[in-house]
Amino acid sequence: MSFIVAIVGRPNVGKSTLFNRIMGKRISIVHDRPGVTRDRIYGETDWNGKHFTLIDTGGIEPSSDDIILRQMKRQVEFAIDTADLILFMVDGKEGMTAADQDVALLLRRSGKPVILVVNKVDKYDDSINNYEFYQLGFEDPIFISASHGLAIGDLLDRITDHIQKRGEDDEDEELTKVAIVGRPNVGKSSLLNAILGEERVIVSDIPGTTRDAIDTYFQVDGKNMIFIDTAGIRRKSRINEDIEYYSTLRAIGAINRADVVLMVLDASQDITEQDKRIAGLAHEAGKAIIVVVNKWDLIEKDTYTMEEFNEKIRSEFAFMQYAPIVYVSAKTGQRVNRIIKTIETVMENYTLRVKTNVLNDLISEATAIAEPPTIKGKKLKIYYATQTGIKPPTFVFFVNDSELFHFSYVRYLENTIREAFGFEGTPIKIKSRQKKGSD
């Protein structure tokens, strides 16, 4: 599950500089003029094996009537809504301001965990009034210099402590989390209503009605599920509204939170590059995926219609041949009941474990049928393989030389594993590890 960290604070306290420092490259525009960062910028990173999404927000001046600053306030409010942890930045050189106190009030009301980050502290000395920042109502502020890299590691340690704590809280949850994603107006909210059997989500023909991700708890056959309905993901060139950019971020966050992703297509429209980009986000995130073709009632059919659609989908989404395809009509309810059954099936595969001895017997047979490649006179040797994880199923092959573990042979091994164990609906990760002392 993705952990989202948002950097918030008034303008010109160094939020973009911190973002760039953590991300390791210049992504946000950094400038001394307040208000330069007007959109949320986000990126994926990790620290000590803990992965998280970091959001850089525009500055905020809560009492300002300036329209740009009002828009940035709205951005920050949205970021607060979607974040698991807030980094509240203040300026250590300038000291606490009335605007800082206003932002602090907004953050305390959010109920989200907050780390108070005092920036522009190039060295610890008596000129920094440590105690005034405690007045903002947050414990244990951390003093950093984003521009010089001072105490950034300590800050990242604090962030990963929160990720660890959230992971412990979630350990006992026996929930299947399902994200419903797709371009605007393909019928995601209608589909959710059809699955639930009641009107829980507002449905409209106007693209973009669903602004945020909406969690709906659902129980079927004694199993608990959470459906995450998201706003349609638009191409960046078409994101004109501030709120639409946030919707994209929220949809990406929903994919990262999910176990299973319902990739919804409109049967009456051609598959677009945007459809493939959305599906790619889910695939790259390692999520179980079901392709749901909605509005099937609008299509004139003959004996070969579904077969032709299958071929088109397999061709356009060549990177996820493993995803099952379900044809439905949210409007009429046609085949909607198949979605729950398919979710249960792919979730079983997403969490399936293969015994090591059974796996190695299979690999021995596979290498006998198709010998490992020889590159520059050196032959790949596979000593043994083991499954190291689920969600998605992950396999590690111990070999003599990882450079010989060519992608074409990896693909052959993946196909062999799929033929033996199924794994419908889930990607498979295959990694190599070079055995120490191997020739």
Question: Is 439 part of a structural domain of the chain?
Answer: no
Which pLDDT band, with edges at 50, 70 and 90, does 395 fall under? very high
Q: For residue 213, is pLDDT > 60?
A: no
Full-prediction pTM beyond 0.95? no
User: Which amino acid, 173?
Assistant: E
Mean pLDDT, rounded, for 103-108: 86
Domains of the chain: total: 3
Mean pLDDT of 109-127: 81
* Domain-ending residue, one of 153, 170, 187: 170
Distance CA 104, CA 242 (A): 23
Same domain for 376 and 311?
no
The reported pLDDT for the residue numbered 241 is 47
Angle (deg, nearest 10), helices 337-350 and 188-196: 90
d(CA 322, CA 282): 13
Decide which of 244 and 386 is more confident. Answer: 386
Question: Which of the two residues, 77 and 335, has the higher pLDDT score?
Answer: 335
Predicted confidence (pLDDT) at residue 28 exceeds the cutoff of 60 = no
pLDDT band at 305 (very low <50, low <70, confident <90, very high): very high
Q: What phi and psi values does residue 417 have, to the nearest 5 degrees?
A: -65, -40
Please give the pLDDT value at position 224.
81
155 and 227 share a domain? no
> What pLDDT shows up at residue 332?
94
Give me the CATH number covering residue 211: 3.40.50.300
* 144 inside domain: yes
Provide, rounded to the nearest whole percent, the portion of the chain with pLDDT above 70.
Answer: 77
Torsion of CA 397, 400, 402, 404, to 10 degrees: -110
Q: Does residue 190 share a domain with residue 166?
A: no
d(CA 275, CA 176): 24
Q: Which of 123, 135, 68 is nearest to 98 (CA)?
A: 135
d(CA 387, CA 397): 9
Region of residue 137 (left: phi > 0; alpha: psi -120 to 50; beta: else): left
Same domain for 235 and 258, yes or no, is yes
Query: Domain end: 323, 350, 377, which one?
Result: 350
What would the two tokens of residue 111 be? 């109920």
Over residues 228-233, mean pLDDT: 64
Same domain, residue pair 231 and 319: yes
Separation between Cα atoms, residue 62 and residue 72, nearest integer Å: 9
Q: Report pLDDT for 2.
A: 66
52 and 82 co-located in one domain: yes
What percentage of residues in the chain have a pLDDT greater than 90? 48
Q: Where does residue 47 rank: exposed (0-12), middle (13-18), buried (19+ CB within 10 A)?
A: middle
Q: How confident is the model at residue 88 (pLDDT cuts 50, 70, 90)?
A: very high
Question: Which has more confidence, 34 or 364?
Answer: 364
Sequence-distant (≥ 6) Cβ neighbours of residue 284 within 8 angstroms: none
* Residue 297 belongs to some domain of the structure: yes
Mean of pLDDT values over 17-34: 66
Domain assignment of residue 73, yes or no: yes
- How many other β-carbons are positioned within 10 Å of the β-carbon of residue 419? 11
Q: In the prediction, which pLDDT does 367 show? A: 96
Last residue of a domain, one of 170, 186, 203: 170
Is residue 24 included in any domain, yes or no?
yes
Please report which helix (H) or strand (E) contains residue 360, including its range: helix 356-369
3-state secondary structure 183-240: CCCCCHHHHHHHHHCCCCCCCCCCCCCCCCCEEEEEEECCEEEEEEECCCCCCHHHCC
Instruction: Indicate if 192 and 317 belong to the same structural domain.
Output: yes
How does residue 86 score in pLDDT terms, banded at 50, 70 and 90? very high
pLDDT at 33 over 50: no
Number of H helices, E strands in the chain: 12, 17
**Residue 148 within any structural domain of the chain:** yes
Q: Which pLDDT score is estimated for 360?
A: 96
Higher-confidence residue: 250 or 403? 403
Q: Does 200 have pLDDT greater than 80?
A: no
pLDDT of residue 51: 83
The values of phi and psi at residue 65, to 5°, are: -95, -5
Residue 49 forms part of a structural domain:
yes
Non-local CB neighbours of 391 within 8 Å, separated by 6+ positions = 259, 286, 350, 351
Do the beta carbons of residue 285 and residue 256 sit within 8 Å? yes
Residue 386, domain extent: 356-434
Mean pLDDT on 239-245:
47
Report the C-alpha gap between 381 and 400 in whole angstroms.
5
| Whole-number average pLDDT of the chain | 82
pLDDT of residue 99: 85
Question: How much is the pLDDT for 354?
Answer: 95
Q: Are residues 345 and 394 in the same domain?
A: no
Contacts for 314 with CB less than 8 Å, ≥ 6 apart: 321
Residues 344 and 386 in one domain: no
Token readout for 283 is 């695939």
Residue 359: what are its φ and ψ, rounded to 5°? -60, -45
Poorest-pLDDT segment among 42-56, 65-79, 92-106: 65-79
Task: Tell whether 16 is covered by a domain.
Answer: yes
Let me know whether 214 and 194 are in one domain: yes
What distance in Å separates the CA atoms of residue 418 and residue 324, rounded to the nearest whole number?
14
User: Within this chain, do residues 62 and 124 fall inside the same structural domain, yes or no?
Assistant: yes
Clarify whether residues 199 and 323 are in a common domain: yes
Residue 244's pLDDT band (boundaries 50, 70, 90)? Answer: very low
CATH code, 378: 3.30.300.20
Q: Minimal CA–CA distance to 48: which of 161, 151, 132?
A: 161
| Residue 44's pLDDT band (cuts 50, 70, 90) | confident
Distance between CA atoms of residues 213 and 320, nearest Å: 24
